[in-house]
Amino acid sequence: MKLFLLSKQNIPLAIQEVLSLSQSKDFELIDNLLILKPKIEVDFQNRLGFTHSIFEFLFKCKNDDLENLIDSFNFQKYYQENFCVRVKGGSDAIEKEIASKIFSKLQNPKVKLRNSKTEFHFFVKGNLVICVKKLFDVDKSYINRKAHLRPSLHPTSMHPRLARACINLTGLTNGLLLDPFCGSGGTLIEAGLMRFKIIGHDIDSNQINRAKKNLEHYSIKNFKLSVNDATKINMKVNAIVTDFPYGRGSKGDNLEELYLKFLVNVKNVASKVVVVFPNFIDHKKIISKTKWTIEHEFRDYVHKSLSRIITVLA
């Protein structure tokens, strides 16, 4: 069993991102703590966007039962080299008391408060205590790939954290991924670093040039870019992940017509499709005119006049 400490920025999206990757449907959610047994082992550390840390689940109990359970639990089984205790939601005094009890149960224990090999965490949620062993923090190097930090900037590009989450919503761990409205390549960058084979299309050659420059900057080699009309795709891929164009600089006068033509065209192109709509478009009306159905839907706030609607289509 694993416990995922989710970002509170968008808990529904964070939950589904983990469920899609783990292929697990049985889970327990306690505030922003997601407990489940993954059906498949995935490199969660280097993939997740909306999770902070991942732990091995040890036990949970009521506050009143914690002392007895600490006495009976085999912490030695999980101990390696040295340890520390962290209590989230409790006092420093409680943390010291728990650490002292665990110390007395270990053979030749060594305490190391920073960068310890073994971290036992206790999450206090009301009358409930959850004990876990920390496995790792999720890699957040994607922060250094935000749009304004890339060699070729495009201001409407998604935050790389959201791009990662959209890719993970496909449930795929590898394969051929297409972004038919690739812009400056934000989604392609994250997919490439996640070891997908990637294809990017855009009707604007300037955008293709930006994407090429950005992909090469991050040493991504397994990609193909071309100027193409997204409503006329005639290939097979494992997944499509795209953020629809909607800004003033977008080519095409009728966005609703563009979205509809695209969705109709790609029904036989990929079985895994994640599409991001702007909230000022009636996306449900458009989808209802196609053979797609909405499997999952999430809202991502951008600013007071714009939110993104993330749809997983099946």
pLDDT of 90 reads 79
Domain that holds residue 44: 2-137
CATH value at residue 127 = 3.30.2130.30
Domain stop point among 105, 137, 169? 137
pLDDT of residue 249: 44
Q: What confidence score (pLDDT) does residue 247 get?
A: 63
Q: Do residue 116 and residue 201 come from a single domain?
A: no
The reply to whether 183 and 269 lie within a common domain is yes
The last residue of a domain, from among 137, 160, 194 = 137
Q: What is the pLDDT of residue 145?
A: 97
Does 128 lie in the same domain as 214? no
Q: Are residues 35 and 123 in the same domain?
A: yes
Q: Are residues 78 and 191 in the same domain?
A: no
- Residues of the chain where predicted confidence (pLDDT) is lower than 50: 248-252
Residues 212 and 302 grouped into a single domain: yes
In this structure, the answer to whether residues 162 and 103 fall within a common structural domain is: no
Q: What is the pLDDT of residue 157?
A: 87
User: Are residues 273 and 184 part of one domain?
Assistant: yes
The per-residue pLDDT for range 135-189, each reduced to its tens digit, is: 999 999 999 999 999 999 877 789 999 999 999 999 999 999 999 999 999 999 9
Let me know whether 237 and 151 are in one domain: yes
Task: Tell me: do 129 and 151 sit in the same domain.
Answer: no
CATH at 268: 3.40.50.150
Of 120, 137, 154, which marks where a domain is finished? 137
Instruction: Give the C-alpha separation, 266 to 169, whole Å.
Output: 18
If one counts the domains in the chain, the total is 2
Q: Are residues 153 and 299 in the same domain?
A: yes
Is residue 55 located within the same domain as residue 116?
A: yes
